[in-house]
Amino acid sequence: MTTAPDAPVLSFEDVTFQRSGKLILPGVTFAIGRGEHWVMLGANGAGKSTILGLAGGNAHPTSGTVGILGDQVGRVELRALRERIGHVDPRHLVRSPLTIEEVVLTGFTGTAERMMRWVPEPAQVDRARELMDMLGLGAKRESTWPTLSQGERGRALIARALVTDPELLLLDEPTTGLDVAAREQLMETLEVLPITHPGLTSLLVTHHLEEIPTTVTHALLLRDGVPSAHGPIRDVLTTEAVSAAFDHPIAVRHEDGRWSARSIRR
């Protein structure tokens, strides 16, 4: 099933979420259209991970409506829905010394380890290798996970997320643990995705404006579980709005397509 062209790929309507009696999301409403690329920013504890979990079909809202790819959470089989979503998480746990190719192929099974007795089809291997080549990993496909740099792991996880040709890509702080060079390489990878995957919609979570790819079209600022601003990125990432979201005076700049932030001295 493919989402109708005019339907939101992801929508939250007055969504609340409680865990252990604590209200984490008191009421979230926003919608992401097909082909849009969003960034979500907010302080620690603002609810970003909770929203991303709901967006990935990994949880049900306490109240309100979450729509993903034309289906409503609670009225669709979540495992089938998750097959249409790619998820990049730098904390992805691989215990076995899998090769890059094996890690990418686990995207077909949705598992961290290679499933016993599962043998990929030739077309699946070809797809994995095509993505590894695109992301500059073709020459290292037999390298094992423990030997990889953080940057190589990040690109491998993007290939893993894309191997099933998802309609929605979720990126949970993908530059975590990267040095400056590896961060820039990973961002260059993200910036080609709208070209190589024109039907893809994405939602990126980050703490840092400097880690926003130039191709991001929209932004959502989150404060205390509530969107304080959302919409086209140039309208949202203002000094006033970012300062309010983080409860701290922050000067925002946009230069040569890149964003930056600096504390305002009082």
| Topology of the domain covering 1-84+167-266 | Rossmann fold (3.40.50)
Summarised one tens digit per residue, pLDDT across range 174-220 is 988 888 998 898 899 899 999 999 989 999 999 899 999 999 999 99
CA dihedral 251, 176, 160, 195 (to 10 degrees): 20
Nearest to 126 by CA among 155, 94, 104, 148: 104
Span 58-72, mean pLDDT?
Answer: 93
Beta bridge partners of 86: 169
pLDDT in tens, 111-143: 888 888 899 999 999 999 999 999 999 999 999
- pLDDT, one tens digit per residue, over 156-179 is 999 999 999 999 999 999 988 888
Domain boundaries, the chain: 1-84+167-266, 90-165
Q: What is the mean pLDDT of residues 235-245?
A: 97
Averaged pLDDT for residues 69-95: 87
The pLDDT assigned to 170 comes to 96
| High-pLDDT (> 70) share of the chain, % | 98
**Mean of pLDDT values over 87-116:** 89
**Quick check: 20 pLDDT over 60?**
yes
pTM for the full model? 0.91
Average pLDDT over residues 250-260: 94
Q: Is pLDDT of 2 > 60? A: no
pLDDT at 95 over 90: no
Read off the pLDDT band of 50 (50, 70, 90).
very high
Write the CB contacts of 224 (distance below 8 Å, at least 6 apart in sequence).
Answer: 26, 46, 47
Query: Which has the closest alpha carbon to 255: 219, 209, 220, 217?
Result: 209
Q: How far apart are CA 128 and CA 105, in angstroms?
A: 6
Instruction: Pick 17 or 111 by higher pLDDT.
Output: 17
CB 185 within 8 A of CB 85: no
